[in-house]
Amino acid sequence: MLSSGRSQVRIRELEASAKLSRPSVVVGIPEMGLVGTIAASYLVEQLKLPEIAFVESDLLPQVVVVRDSEPKEPIRIFGKGTLVVVVSDVPLMAVLSYELASELAKWTKARQGKMVVGVTGIPSEDRVESDGKKTPTVLAVTNDEAIRSSIKAIGAKPFEHGIIASTYATLLRRCANLGVPNLTLLAECYAGFPDPGAAAAALQVLSKLLQVPIDVKRLLDGAEETRLKLRELMNQTQQTIQQEVAQTPTGVYH
Partner 1 sequence: MGESMPGSDDRSGDVDIIRPRTRSFIEEALLDQERLFFDLKSRSLKPLCRIESTEEAVTVTFDLPYVDRKDITLVSTGDAVGVEAKTRRAVTLRVGGSVQRQVQFGQYSLRVRLPRKVDPEKGNATFKNGLLRVKFPIAKRGGRVRIR
Q: Can you give the binding site for partner 1, defined by CB under 8 A? A: 128-132, 190-194, 197, 223-225, 227-229, 231-232, 234-235
Nearer to partner 1, 129 or 160 (CB): 129
Comparing CB distances to partner 1, the nearer of 12 and 229 is: 229
Q: Which is nearer to partner 1, 2 or 65 (CB)?
A: 65
Say how many C-beta atoms besides its own lie within 10 A of residue 180's C-beta: 23
Helix or strand (DSSP H, E) at 227: helix 223-229
Nearer to partner 1, 63 or 163 (CB): 63
Q: At closest approach, how far in Å is the CB of 56 from partner 1?
A: 22
Q: DSSP assignment, residue 18?
A: G
The C-alpha atoms of residue 221 and residue 194 are separated, in whole angstroms, by: 15
Q: Which residue, 153 or 228, is less far from partner 1 as judged by CB?
A: 228
Smallest distance, partner 1 to C-beta of residue 100, A: 24
- Closest by Cα among 54, 167, 174 to 113: 174
What contacts 104, CB < 8 A, 6 or more positions away? 11, 25, 27, 86, 116, 171, 174
What's the DSSP call for residue 32?
G
Sequence-distant (6+) residues with CB within 8 A of 112 are 22
Say how far residue 252 (Cα) sits from the centre of its chain. Answer: 25
CB 198, min distance to partner 1, A: 11
Decide whether 52 or 234 has the Cβ nearer to partner 1: 234
- Taking the C-alpha atoms of residue 63 and residue 27, their distance in angstroms, rounded to an integer, is 22
In the complex, minimum distance from the CB of residue 196 to partner 1, in angstroms, rounded to a whole number: 10
8-state DSSP, 183: E
Cβ 67 to partner 1 shortest distance, Å: 10
Considering the complex, what minimum distance in angstroms separates the CB of residue 9 from partner 1?
25
